[in-house]
Amino acid sequence: MRNPQLNQHGELQHLLTLDGLPRAIITQILDTAAPFTEVAEREVKKLPLLRGKSVFNLFFENSTRTRTTFEIAAKRLSADVINLNVATSSTKKGETLLDTVDNLCAMQADMFVVRHESSGAPYLIAQHLQNTGRDHIHVVNAGDGRHAHPTQGLLDMYTIRHYKQEFHNLTVAIVGDVLHSRVARSQIAALTTLGVPEVRVIAPKTLLPTDVDKMGVQVFHSMEEGLKGVDVVMMLRLQNERMNGALLPSPQEFFKVWGLTAEKLALAKPDAIVMHPGPMNRGVEIDSAVADGGQAVILPQVTFGIAVRMAVMSMLGGSH
């Protein structure tokens, strides 16, 4: 079966997950993103690629940063952007997901940027568009349930490549709440596809998925062990809102054992970079001294995120 993200010419048709996305496409997205970073320095911070196109931000789950960076990216490509906070509208009145999509298609949508609390919702939309012969409409997954957050994974790869140039000689540690994290899944898929030889996951057993040993990563249950000699530390947010039960002691206890402090970071390579997808819980998964320190690249991640999303949208908008 054809990869549902690619069209018959092997071009990106939808961006749904990094799992199974060919290395050549991931590299092409990163290469395409590079020249977009320069647009911010122009007097007119716009490129005409998506002029006359309508991008619908379809957020069934709240998000400020991701929605905003997608909006900036689409606007820098000259698209018209329509933001729908579906969490507070039609679905509350009982409309189904696909009815919402059909209605927006009737308003001449060209692209959907979808965030949904259910894993697989963007697939469902992409499949529906394909089944109804609307191949010219593209879907970008902006985070679905615990499944995937591909543009976050891509901007993380862009950030790593920016600071470390290559992937084949790196040791990367992903730290924290892997169980609830779609970000971690996308990061692991991208890192392994791009040939990072050692991907580590550092987390308490209660915050690891049961199938973690099938993900091609090394599991550590101690920060002291896992951080030793790494080039990149990718922190995850402790997802309080996704926890319903006693997976954890108090946030203070969590910080004591799993929080990234300057002392623990000293175990990594001296030039290791520290990343975080945001929003940060200071004093829970990361100490302020580290978050604001010289090794943190957390704000550049946000800036690169715009260029990476421009790359994805311009590749989708030009595929047939």
Q: Which residues bind another protein (CB under 8 A)?
A: 11, 28, 31-32, 34-36, 38, 42-44, 46-49, 314-315, 317-320
How near is the Cβ of 30 to another protein at its closest, in Å?
11
How near is the Cβ of 269 to another protein at its closest, in Å?
31
Please count the CA atoms within 13 angstroms of the CA of 242 that sit on its side-chain side. Answer: 16
CB closer to another protein out of 261 and 319: 319
Tell me how far apart the alpha carbons of residues 290 and 292 are, in angstroms, rounded to a whole number.
5
How near is the Cβ of 252 to another protein at its closest, in Å?
47
The CA–CA distances, whole Å, from 150 to 16, 106, 133, 226 equal 7, 27, 25, 25
How near is the Cβ of 138 to another protein at its closest, in Å?
12
Residues 6+ away with beta carbon under 8 Å from 266: none
How near is the Cβ of 41 to another protein at its closest, in Å?
9
CB closer to another protein out of 173 and 307: 307
Q: What is the DSSP string of the chain?
A: ---TTB-TTS-B--B--STT--HHHHHHHHHHHHHHGGGGGSSS---STTTT-EEEEEESS--SHHHHHHHHHHHHTT-EEEEEEGGGSGGGGT--HHHHHHHHHTTT--EEEEEESSTTHHHHHHHHHHHTT-TT-EEEEEEETTTB-HHHHHHHHHHHHHHHS-STT-EEEEES--TT-HHHHHHHHHHHHTT-SEEEEE--GGGS-TTGGGTT-EEES-HHHHTTT-SEEEE----GGG--S-SSS-HHHHHHHH-B-HHHHTTS-TT-EEE--S---BTTTB-HHHHTSTTB-HHHHHHHHHHHHHHHHHHHHT--
CB closer to another protein out of 80 and 117: 80
Give the distance between the most distant pair of CA atoms in the chain. Answer: 57
CB closer to another protein out of 36 and 258: 36
How near is the Cβ of 303 to another protein at its closest, in Å?
16
CB closer to another protein out of 32 and 261: 32
CB closer to another protein out of 31 and 253: 31
CB closer to another protein out of 142 and 315: 315
How near is the Cβ of 47 to another protein at its closest, in Å?
4
CB closer to another protein out of 53 and 276: 53
How near is the Cβ of 315 to another protein at its closest, in Å?
6
